[in-house]
Amino acid sequence: MDEDDKPASLASPACLLHEVDPDYAGLPGPTEPRDWPQVNRWRKAERERLIAARLAMPAERRAAFGAAIAAQALAEIGAADGLVVSAYWPFRGEPDLRPLLQTLAASGGRTALPVVIAKGQPLEFHAWQPGDPLERGVWNIPIPAVPHPVIPDVVIAPVVGYDPACYRLGYGGGFFDRTLAALPRRPRIIGVGYSGARCMTIHPQPHDIAMDMIVTENGVVRPYDCTTRALT
Ligand X SMILES: Nc1ncnc2c1ncn2[C@@H]1O[C@H](COP(=O)(O)OP(=O)(O)OP(=O)(O)O)[C@@H](O)[C@H]1O
Give residues in contact with ligand FFO (CB under 6 A).
88-91, 94, 114, 116, 123, 139, 141, 158, 170-173, 175-176
From the centroid of its chain, how far is CA 62? 15
Distance CA 173, CA 158 (A): 13
User: Please, what is the minimum distance in Å from the beta carbon of residue 171 to ligand FFO?
Assistant: 4
Which of 7/172 has CB closer to ligand X? 172
- Among ligand FFO, ligand X, none, what binds residue 141 when CB lies within 5 to 8 Å by partner kind? ligand FFO
Contact yes or no for 168/201 (Cβ under 8 A): no
- Among ligand FFO, ligand X, none, what binds residue 90 when CB lies within 5 to 8 Å by partner kind? ligand FFO
- Among ligand X, ligand FFO, none, what binds residue 207 when CB lies within 5 to 8 Å by partner kind? ligand X
Which of 138/226 has CB closer to ligand FFO? 138
Reduced to 3 states, what is the DSSP secondary structure of residue 142? Answer: strand
Alpha-helical regions (H) of the chain: 17-20, 36-55, 59-77, 98-106, 175-182, 225-231
Q: Which residues bind ligand X (CB under 6 A)?
A: 43, 168-178, 181, 207-208
Contact yes or no for 189/181 (Cβ under 8 A): no
DSSP run (H or E) holding 84: strand 84-86
User: Please, what is the minimum distance in Å from the beta carbon of residue 172 to ligand X?
Assistant: 5
